[in-house]
């Protein structure tokens, strides 16, 4: 799938991994829609990359459908990347007993159901378009986490939600294969995102130091580069790619 000249939409595109991806795809010649809950930030990023902002909540069916409808007005949707997610920590048992179920449900709703929501709507939009010369209609890139494999203490909901995203990948790719739509998931390790930016420099260096190589926090641009590689390589389908510098997380 060629990035240049393609229409792309990035959910969670106003910050972190999503922003880096939106910027990278635009630099490669894509027409990028920046979809995010933060309307002001989405507008800022979109203006800087000559893209278009979309206010979207991945947990809301109408919101996602509306954002995708806007994107398809400018041409067939070829690339959809979902970086929207939350990482609220929480143990099973707190000081007052079992943790409220609602706190687990919210993380799973955003990370897993939000991914499925974006995937189903984006795939439907791609299926309605004509294929390119190679028979492809589009590629959907989801975001999991290495917590799907080595969830730490306090990551019950987060690990469950990201494990679900991993599990969705192959059956979705198999279902959409006859339509010429690929599905690939990236499972990032420790990245230098806005969440990390709030930590003291010593803490950031300590976290980066546990990565075997390179011994640092990963850069959002490195996630974006992998997205571009996935888009370009038609044989990447139904796969989950760890992007973690060989890191395997400890229990704590």
Enzyme catalytic residues: 158
Six token digits for residue 213 = 């190589």
What is the secondary structure of 136-162 as a DSSP string?
--EEEEEE--THHHHPPTTBHHHHHHH
Six-digit token pair at 242?
């760890």
Q: The tokens 């910050």 sit on which residue?
A: 15
User: Number of helices (H) and strands (E), helices first, in the chain?
Assistant: 10, 9
CA distance to 95, 110, 157, 174, 252, per residue, from 153 (Å): 15, 20, 11, 33, 6
DSSP lists the bridge partners of residue 191 as: 218
Instruction: Give the burial class of 25: count Cβ atoms within 10 A of its Cβ; 0-12 exposed, 13-18 middle, 19 or more buried.
Output: buried
């Amino acid at each position: 799938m060629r990035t240049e000249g393609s229409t792309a939409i990035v959910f969670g595109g106003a910050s972190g991994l999503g922003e880096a991806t939106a910027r990278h795809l635009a630099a490669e010649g894509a027409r990028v829609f920046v979809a995010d809950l933060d309307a002001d930030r989405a507008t800022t990023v979109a203006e800087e990359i000559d893209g278009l902002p979309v206010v979207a909540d991945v947990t809301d069916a109408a919101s996602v459908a509306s954002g995708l409808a806007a994107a398809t007005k400018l041409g067939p949707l070829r690339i959809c990347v979902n970086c929207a997610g939350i990482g609220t920590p929480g143990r099973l048992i707190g000081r007052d007993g079992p943790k409220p179920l609602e706190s687990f449900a919210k993380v799973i709703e955003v990370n897993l159901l939000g991914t499925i929501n974006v995937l189903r709507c984006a795939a439907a939009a791609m299926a309605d378009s004509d294929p390119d010369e190679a028979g492809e209609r589009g590629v959907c890139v989801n975001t999991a986490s290495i917590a799907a494999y080595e969830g730490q203490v306090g990551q019950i909901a987060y690990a469950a939600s990201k494990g679900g995203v991993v599990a969705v990948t192959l059956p979705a790719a198999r279902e959409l294969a006859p339509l010429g739509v690929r599905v690939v998931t990236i499972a990032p390790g420790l990245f230098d995102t806005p969440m990390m930016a709030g930590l003291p420099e010593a803490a950031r260096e300590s976290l980066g130091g546990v990565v075997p190589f390179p011994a640092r926090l990963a850069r959002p641009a490195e996630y974006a580069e992998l997205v571009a590689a996935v888009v370009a390589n038609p044989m990447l389908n139904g796969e989950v790619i760890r992007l973690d510098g060989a890191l395997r997380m400890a229990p704590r």
